[in-house]
Amino acid sequence: MAHSMGSLEMIRFAQLYPNEVVALVMIDGISPQYARDYRMTPLMKLGWEAMHVAKNSGLLRGLSKFGVTDKLFIDIAGLPQEIRDTKVVMSLKNLNNDNMKVEMNAMSDNGKKVGGWLTR
């Protein structure tokens, strides 16, 4: 089972070790075609850096106390408050971290390695 960009790793594993895999289960997995064609525009890079500064300065955490960041971090309507609060905390913790940056930079190459495997 894989989530998001982890779906590329799971597909690649299945390609390399087909006798070890019975099924693939993805939760919001990205498609190899999307990953292959992904390019970060200059505006996206600027936004990434702005979010990084806002996170590391504590600005996002402060704004989250007033619900200003809810639309950024809470993407499912009707969640109980405890889960909403957890989503905000985890988003603030993981937003623009080094692992995410490495994944974003490698996404296109990973999509090319996996190729159109899902289309067969």
d(CA 8, CA 11): 5
45-95 pLDDT, tens digit per residue, is: 899 889 889 999 999 989 988 888 888 888 888 999 999 999 899 888 888
Q: How many other C-beta atoms lie within 10 A of the C-beta of residue 15?
A: 13
Residues 16-30 pLDDT 10s: 999 999 999 999 898
pLDDT over 60 (residue 4) = yes
> By three-state DSSP, how is residue 73 classified?
helix
Q: What is the pTM of this model?
A: 0.64
Q: Say if residue 118's pLDDT is above 60.
A: no
CB contact set of 85 (below 8 Å; sequence gap of 6+): none
